[in-house]
């Protein structure tokens, strides 16, 4: 049955599909996984933070547009001994498969500055994050949330909540949102500016940390109510406009 599946991918033209067998035939030596990303559209996937590292290394990613597709991946687990894995998963080592093609990357923050900033962000975000760390998977985005549970991606969690609501169950039955793993890009201008700001304006830096997390939640499909984010954004703009 898996041989009959067809998906768009980063190697195919928009509107054209590819098979799992063709994906495997193109995979470089040493690639043990079949990577996929779920999203509402091709543009939504390709402009998100999770695709950046794969694009920079020219590693193919399958595009899943239908909710049922993730159930298929989780149930099948693998194809021709290559495991299915969502590209938002934690612990993916792409450098072992292929190096980045862009050799003109911005200089990263110094290690001690990164460690200090991660500690500050963790302190400000508290129980909302389980871990804050630097990432080499980010290219043009300042931050992203990585999924530590390969079987429960953001899309799967949203589907579970929707199913509960359709069945008349309280969506809160799944419990409060668990803390997330936040990764930051030590080469991004926003992150560099935040590293300088947190020593001179802790209040504004704290608001930016919260905004950074909510922006990452939006990209991950985890933010259901944006009202608090919008009000915080106004506070940030107010402080910046007063300077």
* Segment 127-143, tens digit of pLDDT: 999 999 999 899 999 99
Check if the beta carbon of residue 150 is closer than 8 Å to that of residue 77: no
Helix/strand/coil percentages in the chain, nearest 5: 45, 15, 40
pLDDT tens digits, one per residue of 182-218: 999 999 999 999 999 999 999 999 999 999 999 999 9
Residue 110 DSSP label: P
One domain, residues 121 and 233: yes
* Number of domains composing the chain: 2
One domain, residues 35 and 131: no
One domain, residues 120 and 236: yes
Check if the beta carbon of residue 63 is closer than 8 Å to that of residue 9: yes
Residue 46 maps to a domain: yes
pLDDT of residue 82: 96
The predicted model scores a pTM of: 0.88
* Distance, C-alpha 194 to centroid of its chain: 20
Check if the beta carbon of residue 135 is closer than 8 Å to that of residue 184: yes
- CATH code, 82: 3.40.50.11260
One domain, residues 129 and 196: yes
One domain, residues 64 and 139: no
Burial label for 116, CB within 10 Å (0-12, 13-18, 19+), is: middle
pLDDT surpasses 90 at 108: yes
What is the rounded average pLDDT of the residues 45-58? 95
Cα angle 175, 220, 143 (rounded to 5 degrees) comes to 115
- CATH code, 135: 1.20.120.790
One domain, residues 234 and 121: yes
Q: What is the mean pLDDT of the chain?
A: 89
Residue 7 DSSP label: E
pLDDT surpasses 60 at 170: no
| Helices 189-197, 202-220: crossing angle, 10 deg rounding | 150
Q: Which domain holds residue 171?
A: 111-241
One domain, residues 116 and 43: no
CA-to-CA dists, residue 226 to 52, 75, 82, 96, 179, angstroms: 25, 33, 38, 38, 18
Residues shown for the chain? 243
What is the rounded average pLDDT of the residues 67-84? 92
Largest CA distance in the chain: 61
pLDDT of residue 147: 87
One domain, residues 60 and 154: no
Residue 101 maps to a domain: no
What is the rounded average pLDDT of the residues 78-107? 88
One domain, residues 129 and 53: no
pLDDT band at 243 (very low <50, low <70, confident <90, very high): low
Residue 178 maps to a domain: yes
pLDDT of residue 221: 86
pLDDT of residue 200: 94
């Amino acid at each position: 049955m898996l041989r009959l599946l067809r998906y768009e991918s980063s190697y195919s033209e928009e509107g054209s599909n590819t098979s799992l067998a063709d994906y495997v035939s193109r995979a470089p030596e040493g690639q043990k996984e079949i990577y996929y990303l779920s999203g509402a559209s091709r543009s939504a996937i390709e402009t998100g933070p999770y695709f950046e590292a794969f694009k920079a290394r020219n590693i193919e990613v399958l595009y899943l547009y239908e909710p049922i597709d993730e159930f298929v991946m989780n149930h099948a687990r693998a194809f021709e001994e290559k495991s299915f894995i969502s590209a938002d998963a934690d612990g993916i080592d792409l450098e072992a498969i292929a190096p980045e093609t862009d050799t003109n990357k911005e200089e990263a923050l110094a290690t001690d500055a990164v460690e200090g900033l991660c500690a500050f962000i963790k302190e400000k975000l508290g129980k909302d994050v389980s871990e804050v760390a630097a990432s080499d998977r980010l290219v043009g985005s300042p931050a992203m949330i990585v999924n530590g549970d390969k079987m429960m991606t953001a899309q799967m969690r949203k589907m579970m909540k929707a199913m509960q609501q359709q069945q008349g169950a309280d969506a809160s039955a799944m419990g409060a949102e668990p803390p997330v793993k936040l990764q930051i890009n030590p080469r991004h201008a926003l992150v560099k500016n935040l590293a300088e700001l947190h020593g001179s304006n802790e209040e504004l830096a704290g608001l930016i940390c919260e905004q950074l997390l909510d922006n990452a939640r939006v990209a991950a499909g985890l933010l259901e109510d944006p009202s608090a984010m919008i009000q915080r954004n106004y506070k940030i703009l107010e402080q910046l406009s007063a300077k």
